[in-house]
Structure 1
Amino acid sequence: MNSYIPYNFMFLLLTMLGTIFSISSSHWIGVWAGLEINLLGFIPMLVYGGTTLEVESGVKYFIIQSMGSGILLTGSLLISITALSWANFGSLLSTNYLSSHLYQSETNLYGILVLISLLIKVGLTPFHFWLPSVMSGLSWLSVLLLASWQKIAPLILILMVVSKYSSMLMACCAAASVVGGIGGLNQTQLRSLMAYSSINHLGWMVAGSIYNVASMVIYFAIYFLISVFLFYYLWIKEKSQTRQLSTSSFRSTNEKLVFSTLILSLGGLPPLLGFVGKWLILTELFNIEPLILMFLILGSLISLFYYLLLFFSYFFSNNSKITEMSMKNYTSMTVSMYFIVASISMNFSGPIMILWLPSLIL
């Protein structure tokens, strides 16, 4: 995406305002309105280029999000009819609206519709089917926004219902981790690969939020930070296929080191920064949900396998050797030294974070 197009800032601001309005609302009608504002701001950024793939991905995203909004509005309307209030679950559970057993059973049933709509919007298994297809046709900046900022509102809204449907969410998290790992094995497009990686990470985030919200926030912050560096790097290198990683686009050992640390950190290889979030959630679920944790670890190991395949496909490629003359001709496209130092320093701060974060959370 060309960030210098003037109207991009306006639509980006509208997207952010919609998210903030949604998560700060105490009524479901406000939540729905905020999500719609967010959608109206994000769609133009998806299709601004006018290419066939971008338009196709934008239409798919619009249809899926509209379906999720419709289910959310239906579920919240049924809850309001039953409880005589538009208040969201955070407010309902602290009042006497649900004192009747009949109201409790009906509200729980309607709450499942609300939960399904949020799972559709965020792309958590078993409603993940749209995410790889949409991401495969977008620009790298749109992929970054879809994988990070667009998850904030649904994740925070899921926290409102996590206490009522923790068992269901745990099953979805375990399935998401495995699906995200297996789905990325045979991918040849980097954007689709990152989509399945996002599904895998999403399973860890939601699983961590069930017992400790702070761990989910830390995990999301780490995932967002690594994604910014990685997607920016792939953006300036103009990479879209995994086979392109074995060509002579990595012009120096420093660039190889940057990409290797980013890709392995995103896969959660210890002791890099990406392992810190997994380590926090692992210590919390070890005694509480060992079975679910086993599936989470399994999916993470599978995803780390295809990250290692990417690593070996370019790091030991014979095509990456170039002459000094071609290196001089490429100086305008090389990554700045500031980016290299910041990226490597960030990823190798994992051991420090592991020692410091437990005292911060506790």
Structure 2
Amino acid sequence: MNIYIPYNFMFLMLTMLGTIFSVSSSHWMGVWAGLEINLLGFIPLLAYGGTTLEIESSVKYFIIQSMGSGLLLMGSLMISVMTLSWSNLSCFSSMNMSYFINNSELTFFSILVLISLLIKLGLTPFHFWLPSVMSGLSWFSTLILASWQKIAPLVLILMITSKYSFFLLICSALSSVIGGIGGLNQTQLRSLLAYSSINHLGWMVASGICSMTSMAVYFSIYLLISIFLFYFLWLKEKSQMRQLCSSSFQSMSEKMIFSTLILSLGGLPPLLGFVGKWFVMTELFTTEPIILMLLISGSLISLFYYLLLFFSFFFSNNSKTTDSLTKKHISLPMSTYFMVASISMNFSGPIIILWAPLLTL
């Protein structure tokens, strides 16, 4: 997809505006309107290529998001009728907690709002749509879906963690395990990265329940690694795992780039992807050790198929190609800059994040 075409830039700005409007709103009607603006801006980006897979994925995404928006609107409307207020659930629960707990109907509608946000986010047990949708998209749309589209539902879910924190912790633990197990049997890179996103969503929700700072750090790290990885796969035009053993990865610099990014995304220490998990582990170790064990188990399972990806091409012998094939995708200077940036980010990032606060003391 060419993001430099004016109307693509307009749809991208509309998508970002919807997210910002939804997160900044002080009442549920504004939240719903912001999510709808985000959806209207993102759907044209999904179906831009016009291929059958992209159109199919965009229709699936539209149906799922519309269902989530309908549940959100219905739940928030019923809450507003019963409380005579459009204020966000977090503000409402803090002001009228006793009435909130004693009213079973209000609790049901608040759970309905939570379910709608979980559907939009793609967190377990409502993750079923994410691999199917992501498998047919372009790499740019996949990056937006795996990163920016998670911000609004994630922030809104964390607004109601005071009442549903244990339920969300269970969902996050299950999400990590299912994200790890689901990726074991995948042969397509987009589907595998979709299950990887489900795994990381579990860690993000768990980190947000512990501390908003931890969630911000984890999401920033995940976004940074995803931008480098998805951009590299976009340049190399890879979509199947078997293609990683092909001859287009003929230079050692490209192998180093992909190895560093994929292992960092898996959270292998001492790379950058491990820092976010370290923040969560230090905060859940004493409070929720069982949830932490499930999160670590799912992360270890996902690290297994990341290592399979690593061994599938790094030690492959299919490297008998000419330099013209390499220059067709990535020129030598660009490949060098890309390698330096990705490796420096993954190895110096943990030092900066973990030790920089100590230097200010």
1:39 — aligned with what? Answer: 39
Contact 1:223 1:274 in 2 (8 A): yes
What is the distance in 2 between the residues matched to 1:52 and 1:101? Answer: 47
CA apart distance, 1:204:
0.2
What is the distance in 2 between the residues matched to 1:60 and 1:134? Answer: 6
CA apart distance, 1:5:
2.4
Relative distance call for 1:102 and 1:146 in structure 2 (3 A) is closer
Name the amino acid aligned to 1:342: A
Contact 1:251 1:334 in 2 (8 A): no
What is the distance in 1 between the residues matched to 2:291 and 2:56? Answer: 36
**Correspondence list, 1:201-240, <5 A:** 201-240=200-239
CA apart distance, 1:148:
0.3
What is the distance in 2 between the residues matched to 1:318 and 1:177? Answer: 34
What is the distance in 1 between the residues matched to 2:325 and 2:14? Answer: 41
Output one character per residue of 1:304-344: Cα deviation in whole Å (capped at 9) or x when no partner: 0000000000001110243xxx1145324225122221111
**Are residues 1:25 and 2:21 paired?**
no
Relative distance call for 1:101 and 1:36 in structure 2 (3 A) is closer
1:63 — aligned with what? Answer: 63
Relative distance call for 1:199 and 1:294 in structure 2 (3 A) is same
Match of 1:331 among 318, 327, 331: 327
Output one character per residue of 1:151-191: Cα deviation in whole Å (capped at 9) or x when no partner: 00001101111111011101101100000000000100000
**Are residues 1:79 and 2:79 paired?**
yes
Contact 1:98 1:104 in 2 (8 A): no
**Are residues 1:200 and 2:199 paired?**
yes
What is the distance in 2 between the residues matched to 1:307 and 1:275? Answer: 14
Contact 2:100 2:106 in 1 (8 A): no
2:261 — aligned with what? Answer: 262
What is the distance in 2 between the residues matched to 1:348 and 1:51? Answer: 39
Deviates more, 1:31-40 or 1:327-336: 327-336
What is the distance in 2 between the residues matched to 1:30 and 1:50? Answer: 32
What is the distance in 2 between the residues matched to 1:153 and 1:327? Answer: 44
Please, what TM-score do these two structures have when normalized by structure 2? 0.95
2:110 — aligned with what? Answer: 111
What is the distance in 2 between the residues matched to 1:330 and 1:150? Answer: 33
What is the distance in 1 between the residues matched to 2:310 and 2:182? Answer: 18
What is the distance in 2 between the residues matched to 1:207 and 1:79? Answer: 27
Per the alignment, in what secondary structure is the counterpart of residue 318 of structure 2?
helix
Paired residues, what number?
358
Output one character per residue of 1:189-238: Cα deviation in whole Å (capped at 9) or x when no partner: 00000000000000000001112111011000000000000000000000
What is the distance in 2 between the residues matched to 1:89 and 1:279? Answer: 31
1:7 — aligned with what? Answer: 7
Per the alignment, in what secondary structure is the counterpart of residue 206 of structure 1?
helix
Unaligned runs of 5+ in 2: none
What is the distance in 2 between the residues matched to 1:57 and 1:359? Answer: 47
Relative distance call for 1:304 and 1:41 in structure 2 (3 A) is same
2:287 — aligned with what? Answer: 288
Name the amino acid aligned to 2:91: S
Q: Cα RMSD (Å) of the superposition? A: 1.7
Please, what TM-score do these two structures have when normalized by structure 1? 0.95
Unaligned runs of 5+ in 1: none
Percent identity reads 73
What is the distance in 1 between the residues matched to 2:288 and 2:162? Answer: 15
CA apart distance, 1:99:
4.6
What is the distance in 1 between the residues matched to 2:28 and 2:157? Answer: 13
Contact 1:82 1:103 in 2 (8 A): no
What is the distance in 1 between the residues matched to 2:142 and 2:221? Answer: 17
CA apart distance, 1:101:
5.9
